[in-house]
Structure 1
Amino acid sequence: MTRFIHDQFSKDYLEELLKPYGKVQAPSRVAAEVREIDVLFSPFSTQTANLATLGLLGKMATTSAIFEPFRNPASKEEITDCLLKLLEVRNAIQREANRTKTPISAGEIPHLWVLTPTASETIISGFGASLKSDWVEGVYFLPEYLRTAIVVIHQLPCTQETLWLRILGRGRVQQRAIDELAALPANHPFQRVTLELLYSLQQNLRINQNIETDDRELVMRLAPLYQEDRERARQEGLQQGLQQGEQQLILRLLNRRFGEIDLSLIEQVQRLSIEQLEALGEQLLDFSEVADLAAWLNQQQETKNQ
């Protein structure tokens, strides 16, 4: 169960980082057996220079790309499935080119990036993957015409350039990346949105009773960071910003839990005070359906009117 929570976090995270620079489809369906691509990205031609902000991830996104992140080490079957998705996308592009009688440019066919925490030597050698001198340690390229690389996150050097990929690691690698993220200047363009996604991940993990050791440690690491973040905002007098951030977090959790919710309920949540939002954040863990949320909001309104 928690694997799917991490899968959704990875898709949301990559989408948030990449959407200022291009078109993101997450997930994107391809033909044949209706396989879903986790993140399909096409850069805006005017934004490629700005991708340097994302370091190694930005370098990967300078051309069309498919990102397939894995919480657990990707198996040979999973990597093969990713290759099938790439080939199906390539075939779709070829069919369209044949229909319109236009040539395919090299940049139209996406590059596949398989993001895995670890990978055995057997996996790397079995796919004929190898390092390149102009790329960092941990990025293994398959033969040229396959347009694919296996990115072993736990082998990446601990530098600013790799931070945005190491956030998708596990255990100590991920926790160190979170520490580095928290140390970034508050005005960094991606610090706030990443922290909010991590806080949402933390809340989703807390809902589950049976979670792995790595997940328990992640929840414990994020809890004080969230409290410090909230207290810092209070001390700086950023009550309005804090309230908006709390609203976004609560609405994100509600959407994850129940899907699309009625606009009237969203408006009621947006009118809650910061104290009520904090109370809702704890209470929603016990909600089983949208009706529970509506009843809770009505109770808050009745209390206010007394």
Structure 2
Amino acid sequence: MHRNRLITAALATATAAGLSAFTWAQAPAASAEIPITAGDGGIVEQTCGTTPVQIRVDSANATGGKVCFGLVKDSGWVAVNITGSYGVVNNLTVPVTVAFKLPNGAVYWSTTVNPGEVKTVDVNRSGSTVVELQVSPVTSPTGPSTGQLTPGGEQPTVVSLRNAASTTTPRVLRVSWSGVVSDVINRNSGFTDRLDASFIVTPGLSNTKCVSLESAAYPGVFLQTTDGTAPTVSVSSTPDATAATWCATAVSSPATSVRLISAADQRYALSTTTAGAVSVTTTRAADSAWFVDQGLAYPGTTTGTTTGK
């Protein structure tokens, strides 16, 4: 799949607060960085050439010009940040899906590299940043929470929010062209859909004891409530600090779920319906409880020199 991720005026119109367009530039010089940021252990980094059955990412920024990975389980996924990438060689016996983006910005593509195939991931002759390798089908969260709402340090914490009321067909909070919805998305969905359903946990904009949720797909865009007698939920690139702050409280049933209370009005908790509409509610039921999962997709960073083995 080859999908443009440019943020347009259409998305700004679709959200109550409006999303602004972003400008991209060449990535600046970077420092050394370990390429793996998350994964399920199915795909691991290996020294290139130790076995002929590997995935090889060719990168101008990698030591030796390449980074290699092996598939050690039947399937797997790994979030990486391999800057300066221009090609992927798949010497496995199964297809590999590769997600990559512009050197600096929020435009993402996804392509499948078949066994024995070589594909370019170069963008405008300036390289790209490979952000994910996946061999499907991989396991998707269906039970207790697999992540936590704790802001990260050098590596950001990326989470997805799965509604506790939709246990049969899990619905996940996501940003869409029509605003904020809950949708049936899992780890085998398309990369850009999964990225829309992933959020970076930051200290609360108005209260650092709470958190704010920045869209992983759209840098600088935060989940917030809107004013009014019947508050709703939107995303904004110019968020109100209090409206974009959420205080998590543990929920005893279902276990490991949390309720996200609006700092703007603590009567209201983030909620969804079986039809997928997202709002806030004063009701303390399963539809206002959320499982916090490890992010369904990771955006990569705008800087970083790849190190390879």
Tell me if TM exceeds 0.5. Answer: no
Larger-Rg structure: 1
TM-score range, shorter chain: under 0.3
Taking structure 2 as the reference length, what is the TM-score of the superposition? Answer: 0.27
Higher relative contact order (CA 8 A, sep 6+): 2
* Structure in which a larger fraction of residues adopt strand: 2
Bigger helix share = 1
